[in-house]
Amino acid sequence: MTIQAGEIWLADIPFTDGSASKRRPVLVRWLDGLDAIVAVVTSATPRTQTDVPLADWRSAGLRVASTVRLARLDCLEQPLLIRRVGSLSPQDAQTLRDVWDLHVKPTF
């Protein structure tokens, strides 16, 4: 199955200590070779300016109201993406691009 930016996938995210992993939804931000750079999707309410609530979470294939945490990026090997859940609505995609452009900047 082809993976594309803007899609929501269920991923098997390994713990940093390698002891186990957890399945959770992620937003594919971009692909780099065999890696996928993803943002965490959570059911928690936004707590920073880079946490973006999805207005159309149902149409994205999510079961509950969800927030994309743009400051929580992971680099995953594509085989860790288990199945496609859905994709962003055009409105949510634009909101995420706007927040990214406004608030996610290198500071060096």
CATH number, domain containing residue 72: 2.30.30.110
Does 66 fall in a domain? yes
Does 1 fall in a domain? no
pLDDT digits (tens, 9 = 90+) for 55-106: 999 999 999 999 999 999 999 999 999 999 999 999 999 999 999 999 987 7
Does 77 fall in a domain? yes
Write out the two tokens for 28: 């594919």
Residue the block writes with tokens 């939804």: 25
Q: Is 57 helix (H, G, I), strand (E, B) or coil?
A: coil
The whole-angstrom separation of Cα 88 and Cα 15 is 27
pLDDT digits (tens, 9 = 90+) for 20-29: 889 999 999 9
Does 48 fall in a domain? yes
